[in-house]
Structure 1
């Protein structure tokens, strides 16, 4: 679940009921397909000094498709992905139609460069379903595309992630804190005991840890307690492999 914040009413939080189809997609992939709609790339990075980029949408659904594109600022306050309406990133066109078998280019324009650390955004690209006909069910697809802008004030932005175990509400969590100036992305996260026993964790949700943010993965193994144990966390990360011991809280 992702929280959407309105820029004009920051205290009002609307929980997005729709599934973000590409929330967990790795940026190394160049294209994603949902229901005959293809979007590339699935992740955008604005290099230092770059202010424009493009998305390509291809319609192979067999019918004309209406779409809407909206930019959001992306944060992880409290370890929860939150999207806030922003004017720092512009999209053109914000709405349109794509005839079947054709492509549409959507242009992204960065209006405000990042300064001290990388800025993070998400583009929500929604299919607008046609009017419902009696006896039919319409399915609308949503793509959630991560967009990152490298900071102008830092010669080489990099993540700096530390790992720990923390208790909360009678449960334990594997916690990653990013004190760097760039995001990191994790997959195949594993927590193991000294005897090689695997500790189950909940890997659902976004694989990203934004700069200055914290991500938590709930430990699922029943009766788990880190007391007196030597544990180890391993993972694949965009910045390189993770393999380090963990001390209990």
Structure 2
């Protein structure tokens, strides 16, 4: 029986569980920490790749400069960070430190804001003798932030709920100097009814960017107006929001 490889993607710092079908097996590849921030005075930092499984793991690490525009997240291959080692093999129970080295100067000058990268960590499929069925190989996308010289301005967010027929889009603009990680969103209307929007990680809004997400609850859940609650960079926040009739 030929073995089938499936990739499972883990993005950001909050991960969902994986439900395995019968006959499937998963990798033991783990990453810690799941995000890094380099201060302007730091030239390097590191993260650990850990093999908690019973078989050898092969992995590849690549660097992408991360920006956002009207089309969403944009990743472009970059030499702004150097990774050592970029290829590795981990025996069962082993771990390996991955060095993340900044090659250029940090953001500087009037109005300088945080810069952003992502590390793509891909498990490489291998054939294990005697094993058949499905094999899940993992892909991690790890955010790396480079702080500017001087004080870093916190995120300053502008929120909008926009109606699209029977659906609602959440649009968030960041006018601050550092990223905002959005998670654990819920909406409490003026009658006190709570609607869970997204229990885990929704996404990031980088400095100077606007991001938008189509929400699962119907427009009726937001019709009365209310308060949006969210975790922003790990801290609870609340925002009064009413539903607009159309995008703008």
TM-score normalized with structure 1 length: 0.78
Aligned to 1:237: 232
1:188 to 176, 184, 203: 184
Aligned to 1:147: 144
- The size of the alignment, in residue pairs, is 224
Aligned to 1:21: 10
* 1:126 matches 2:118: no
Aligned to 2:21: none
Stretches of structure 2 that go unaligned for 5 or more consecutive residues are 1-5, 16-25
* 1:70 matches 2:62: yes
Contact 2:183–2:231 (CA under 8 A) maintained in structure 1: yes
Which gives a bigger RCO, structure 1 or 2 (Cα 8 Å, sep 6+)?
A: 2
The superposition leaves residues 166-215 of structure 1 with CA deviations (integer Å, 9 ceiling, x where unpaired) of 23466321222111010112222112221112345356764322111223
Q: 1:157 aligns to what SS in structure 2? A: coil
Stretches of structure 1 that go unaligned for 5 or more consecutive residues are 1-16, 27-33
Structure 1's consecutive aligned runs of 4 or more residues displaced over 4 angstroms after TM superposition are 132-136, 202-206
Aligned to 2:53: 61
* Separation in structure 1 between the aligned mates of residue 71 and residue 193 of structure 2, nearest angstrom: 27
Aligned to 1:162: 158
The superposition leaves residues 19-39 of structure 1 with CA deviations (integer Å, 9 ceiling, x where unpaired) of 42143428xxxxxxx732232
Aligned to 1:13: none
The superposition leaves residues 92-148 of structure 1 with CA deviations (integer Å, 9 ceiling, x where unpaired) of 111121222222121111123233111111111111111476844432111221111
The superposition leaves residues 147-167 of structure 1 with CA deviations (integer Å, 9 ceiling, x where unpaired) of 111012x42331101211123
* 1:83 matches 2:75: yes
* Separation in structure 2 between the aligned mates of residue 185 and residue 139 of structure 1, nearest angstrom: 27
Contact 1:159–1:239 (CA under 8 A) maintained in structure 2: no
* Separation in structure 2 between the aligned mates of residue 239 and residue 204 of structure 1, nearest angstrom: 12
Contact 2:62–2:119 (CA under 8 A) maintained in structure 1: yes
1:114 to 107, 129, 135: 107
Contact 2:12–2:34 (CA under 8 A) maintained in structure 1: no
Contact 1:199–1:220 (CA under 8 A) maintained in structure 2: no
